[in-house]
Amino acid sequence: MALKRMDNVGIVVEDLTAAIEFFRELGLDLEGRATIEGEWAGRVTGLGDQHVEIAMMRTPDGHSRLELSRFLKPPVIADHRNAPVNALGYLRVMFAVSDIDGTLERLRKRGAELVGEVVRYKDAYRLCYIRGPEGVLIGLAEELSGAQ
């Protein structure tokens, strides 16, 4: 089999610093921040000559990454941040947390808004969706003790 792993999920934002701080509050670590520009990068994305600021955020276990990008050139041309949960395409990123109520309390201070409500799924999880920085949809899941 050729597939080895999923390296990261990318999210385009307008305010890179605010997005970094939000995901730090969630518990991700800033692995690095850089500027990517030039014709070579545009050949990968199909956007031509581009200039992008990126930040790579790493989950505490080191297995997953979130790439935050702020496009300076070319300008952003579409906005999916306020799309409903049943919209086609990118939907959300789900994070496992140890304390969903405490996490929500911390993230609300950074502008997070609960989409629906916190619900219990069987005896396995408490789950919710929130809108994070710039309306990005994020799922939170707290595994309940004794869940298989």
> What was the pLDDT predicted at 146?
67
Domain ranges, ordered by start, for the chain: 9-73, 93-143
pLDDT digits (tens, 9 = 90+) for 121-142: 999 999 999 998 888 899 999 9
Q: Decide if 9-73 and 93-143 have a common fold.
A: yes
Give the CATH H-level superfamily of domain 93-143: 2,3-Dihydroxybiphenyl 1,2-Dioxygenase, domain 1 (3.10.180.10)
pTM, two decimal places: 0.89
> What was the pLDDT predicted at 85?
79
pLDDT digits (tens, 9 = 90+) for 44-56: 888 888 899 999 9
Residue 91 confidence (pLDDT) above 80? no
Report the distance separating Cα 148 and Cα 140, nearest Å: 18
At the second CATH level, the architecture of 9-73 is Roll (3.10)
Where do runs of H (alpha helix) occur along the chain?
16-26, 39-45, 100-108
